Amino acid sequence: MADSVMQYQAADGGWPKNTDLGVRPPSAESRAAAGADVTWSTIDNNGTTMPMQFLALVTHATGEARYRASFLRGFDYLLAAQYPNGGWPQFFPLRPGYYTHVTFNDNAMVNVLTVLRDAATGSAPYSFVDEARRTKARAAVSRGIDIILKTQVKQDGKLTAWCAQHDEKTLAPAWARAYEPPSLSGSESVGIVRFLMEIERPAPAIVAAIEGAAGWLRSVAIPGLRLETFTGADGRSDRRVVPDPAAGLLWARFYELGTNRPIFLGRDSVVRPALSEIEYERRNGYAYYGQWPASLLDTDFPRWREKHSR
């Protein structure tokens, strides 16, 4: 499987997304595409970071030089892809469009920071990473944390959350796909907070960022609604929210900047107030509601706060 994963690695050191890397080796055609297509390598949808984590485990277990070399090529790719301001684009080499934004979407940047942070320690399974790369990784993580703090949105002077993507130059919340507007994220913000909470000795600015985001997430929780799948009159499976006083809290994927109102967009990019008002395909093909912050707020944040209040 590791040999198969390696064969999907592009010449620049990265890997593609949405590809089963381990079932069978790629064809000659797909290997050629990986070498020629500059849009191949990405950190989106666990691209690059997941194969690197796997190869680190295999390297640690076997000591095989070829797996180490493949991992380190990926490592160097991640370092090269970082913007000077500390962010990472979704694709590198850069691909025109929203892909150049600093990408928190689907935990892309948090995944990168996690790999680099863990490798920088030199602990298993990353003990084979040389000190020069560890030093570079520590600096990259520091810059990454800095841009996380800079992109956290303030409303009425209070720290809130993050957009799924921020403009790589202005750092303002930015559009991605037609149904992914500049907004505050009830999903991606959770991954960012979890990453910040793992910092052993957080600076006051990091503590403030965590406290602000947790407070905002708690304030925008939606009670009394349950997301369910049902069979519509046309016989198709569909999604809807229904009143349910006993339901657990829900969060929206997108909250309107300034108002914190849950918003829903289909492929026409029109902002609507309800899930039922967007088209069937998006309503059933995208996570507009979820319980992403539930365990964070109920368990992890209180433990973190207790630890750092001592």
Give the span between the Cα atoms of 306 and 303, in whole angstroms: 5
Catalytic residues: 45, 177
Q: How do beta strands 225-231 and 264-265 pair?
A: unpaired
Assess contact for 71 and 127: CB atoms under 8 A. no
Contact indicator for 129, 119 with CB cutoff of 8 Å: yes
Q: In this structure, what token pair is assigned to residue 114?
A: 């996690």
Contact 249, 226 (CB under 8 A): no
Largest CA distance in the chain: 63
Q: What is the rounded distance in angstroms from the CA atom of residue 144 to the CA atom of residue 118? A: 14
Q: What are phi and psi of 91, to 5 degrees?
A: -120, 145
